[in-house]
Structure 1
Amino acid sequence: MNVVARGLIRAAVSSFQASRRALWFVTRPLSFGVHAIPLTERGDLILVRLTYAKGWRLPGGGLKRGEDPQEAVLRELREEIGLTGHAAVERVGEFHHRPDHRRGIAQLYLIRGVTYAPPAWSLEVEEVRAFAPADLPPDLPAVTADQLRMARLIP
C-alpha cells in the first residue's frame, strides 16, 4: 500500500478513535478485554503498531459478551498478527487500567510457540514485528511495559 493511502487510513481511523474517546470521556464505560504476550519458539516477543495509537503494543482487544477470555485472546491474535499456530496458553493475571477514559478490566495471557503470518492489510494494525525481549523498541507505552513486568519478561 502506498504512503498516501496509508496516511489517509491512519487519519480516518484516528478520527474515529478520537470520536469514541470523546464519548467515553462523558460516559466512562466499563470495558472487558484481553491482551496477549505472544512468544515465538525462539522466545521473541511479537508486538503490533496500531494505526490509531503511538508505540509498539501487545495484541489484544475487547471481550465479546459471553466469550471465553482464552478464546478471545486467540481470536485477537488471529485478527491482529495472523496467528497460524501456538503451543501453551497461560493466564498471567488480570489488570485494571483506564484506556481512553474507559474503566478497563483485562485478562493477560502468555502464548508460547506462536507462529504467524501478518495480514497483508488491516485498518487497525499498521505493522507486526518480533523483538528479542532484551532488545525492545524505545517507544513501548508504559501499559505494555507494565504487562511485560506482570509476566516477568522484563525487570
Structure 2
Amino acid sequence: MPLRLASFFSRRSDLVTLGAQAVVVNEASEVLLIRHGYRPGWHFPGGGIEHGETIDRALSRELHEETGVTITQPARLFGIYTNFAVFPGDHVVLFIVEHWRQDEIPAANAEIAEQRFFALNNLPATTGAATRRRLDEIFSGSERASAW
C-alpha cells in the first residue's frame, strides 16, 4: 500500500473494513492453505469484500480467484472476528466450506505463490498464528476468541 494511502487510512478511525476467509476441507479432513507472494506464512484463502458485494459473493469470488475452488453448497458461517491489530476497523468473517469442486488450479502469481491441502497434524511450521488458532477452535473445540 503506498505510504500516502496508508497514511489516509490510519487517520480514518471511523472506517470499517470487512473480509471473508474460508476453511476449505477435503474428504481426508485436510484444510486448504495458501502462501502469499507478499507476506510470510500459510493462511486461509479469502480477501476483502468490495463495495456493493455480498459476503457470500466475495467469498466465492476470492476462493475461485485464489485457488480455483467453486463452492457447490452454501458455506457454513463459523465466526466473525476483529482484526484491529492490522487496521482499527477491520473484521474477518470466517466460513467453513465442505462442499466444493476444483476444476483447475490457478498458476502461481505475485499474490498467491502456492496452495496446498494439509492434514491438521502436519501443518507447515510457518502457518500463521491466527490460522492455527482458528483451526484449533474449529477442530479441537478450543474456546473461540473474538480477535483474529
After TM superposition, give the deviation of residue 147 of structure 1 in Å: 2.4
Which residue of 1 is the match for residue 32 of structure 2? 46
For the structure 1 residues 97 and 44, does the alpha-carbon distance in structure 2 shift closer, same or farther, using more than 3 Å as the test?
same
Which letter does structure 1 place at the counterpart of 2:36?
Answer: L
Structure 1 stretches of 4+ with a deviation exceeding 3 A read 17-29, 84-88, 99-102, 152-155
Alignment correspondent of 1:149: 136
Normalised TM-score (structure 2): 0.79
Say which of 75, 82, 93 aligns to 2:79: 93
Gaps of 5+ in 1: 1-16
RMSD in angstroms over aligned alpha carbons? 2.4
Do structure 1's residue 114 and structure 2's residue 100 form an aligned pair?
yes
Q: 1:122 to 1:22 in 2, by over 3 A?
A: farther
Alpha-carbon deviation of 1:153?
5.2
The letter of the residue matching 2:68 is: G
Q: Are the counterparts in 1 of residues 108 and 114 from structure 2 also a CA contact under 8 Å? A: no
- Cα offsets for 1:16-57 (capped at 9, x unmatched): x47465654444542111111111122210000001111000
Cα shift readout 1:84-136 (whole Å, capped 9, x = no counterpart): 45445100011001253352112110000333232114331000110012211
Contact 1:48–1:57, Cα closer than 8 Å, also in 2: yes
Structure 1: distance between partners of 2:119 and 2:141: 11
Distance change (3 Å), C-alpha of 1:24 and 1:153: farther
Runs of 5+ consecutive residues of structure 2 not aligned to the other structure: 143-148
1:33 aligned residue:
19
